[in-house]
Amino acid sequence: MTDAPTFRVGKLARAKTAEQTGVDVSDLIDRSYNYHSPRELHWHLAERLGLAPGAVKLREAAAA
């Protein structure tokens, strides 16, 4: 067990470009999971989407 800070993903959207709003794909992940790093989320998404890790780009959106 670790006391390292974690975060959860509130909403996940898939977009082809950074300027797009994107389609909600939050159902692809367990939103109650506590990620330990953006890198962990990045690799998890690549695996879930069947993509090479280099093909996945993450961008944090400001909470509304």
pLDDT of residue 2: 65
Instruction: Tell if the pTM clears 0.85, that is, is over it.
Output: no
**pLDDT higher than 60, residue 61:** yes
Its sign, for the CA torsion 33, 37, 41, 47, is negative
DSSP character at residue 17: S
25, 48 contact by CB (below 8 A): no
For residue range 2-54, list pLDDT tens digits in order: 678 899 998 888 887 777 778 888 888 888 999 999 899 999 999 988 989 88
Q: Which amino acid is at 21?
A: T
pLDDT of residue 21: 76
